[in-house]
Amino acid sequence: MADEIGVLIVDDSALMRNLIGKMVEATPGLVIAEKAMNGVFALQKIPRVNPDVIVLDLEMPEMNGIEFLKERKKQGIKIPVIILSSVASRGAEITMEALALGASDFIQKPSGSVSEDIHTVKDSLMGMLLGYGGRYRKLQGKKLLPADYTKKPDAVHVVPDSATPKPKSSIFSMTFSSTPMPAKPPAPFRKPAKTEIIAIGISTGGPDALRVVFSQIDVDLQVPIVVVQHMPPGFTNEFAKSLDRICPLEVKEAEEGDLIKPGRILIAQGNKHLEVMKKSLAAIAHLSDEPLVSGHRPSADVLFGSVAKVYGNHALGVIMTGMGRDGAEKLGDIYQEGGLTIGQDETSAVVYGMPRVAFELGHVMEQVPLDRMASRICSLAKTQK
């Protein structure tokens, strides 16, 4: 179908190409554009098949994933790339290098470079392909079957054009219906006060989005930031380091007892909930192994809930691109306590799921595009008295 998202699968394993290909074929809205066994063949096939998104292995002969990304950048190819990263000892470091070279996002292979159990990450991978590939098609002026990303990752599906009117004002829409309308917002207990903490919840599309926000954040921002980015364990430390290199503020992976202090950004560890706790002298980070919340650990709902409890109307909550609804409910706690809340807008979100649900619940005071997110966060944090 002409409106389907074309996927180029690049992996040196014939088994992996076959397994990924079957998942693509079974996903409405996606179609296999071509397959390639390494970066050299991929570059040769791109002009002919013109894919909308690329699935890229990192460890391949002749031209590996990193070398492909360097050549892609040199040739000015803008097609989004999703990395399939193995659990090799240097997997996290190499994956972060790939993101720095322009890859959009990554999925961790469950059991090494040849993962026969790759089906366990099918929902996340297919969601990313629909999200990034769909956004690229829209930016290229191509038609696209709309999909619903407000549901859990395992419930993502696409509906035909004839069944769903698409909003005309959006560059990229993944919805069942026209532009969402918020419910009546809950009544806040008090008015907003001086911002003392900024909490961000983000998922699919997050690595790219956070690089944009934190590279543009003001160097003189004197408000601590805590972040939940859905990411597997073993990767968040390298991710924090990669953000620290481009951000004027300190960025680090959160550790138990870390001080919540001005000029510091803490990134939640993979597979650990992040909460803020108030001690006699300062607020600190607390990590826990409590059960999944909203389908995730770390969960933005857990973070937002703790921020609302500890900081009340001195908090700024931010919900950004991502599938599902994690963070949407507890962002409302910050709102009800009198804190400020903003959400990424539909046009700039790779997947307008989490921010959409929060907006429809009436928990978002203002929707902000990605290219203005850093300046708006800083403006609100600095001007609120």
Encoded tokens for 81: 């790339």
Query: Using CA atoms, how far apart are residues 117 and 2, in angstroms rounded to an integer?
Result: 31
Angle at 82 between CA 81 and CA 85, to 5 degrees: 130
Distance CA 141, CA 135 (A): 10
C-alpha–C-alpha distance, residues 136 and 215, integer Å = 23
Q: Which residues are catalytic?
A: 203, 230, 326
Return the closest-CA partner of residue 269 out of 282, 288, 295: 288
Mutual orientation of helices 14-25 and 122-139 as an angle, nearest 10°?
A: 70
CA–CA separation, 359 vs 368, rounded Å?
Answer: 12
> In the numeric block, which tokens belong to residue 70?
């360097």
Q: Where are the alpha helices (DSSP H) in 82-177?
A: 91-100, 122-139
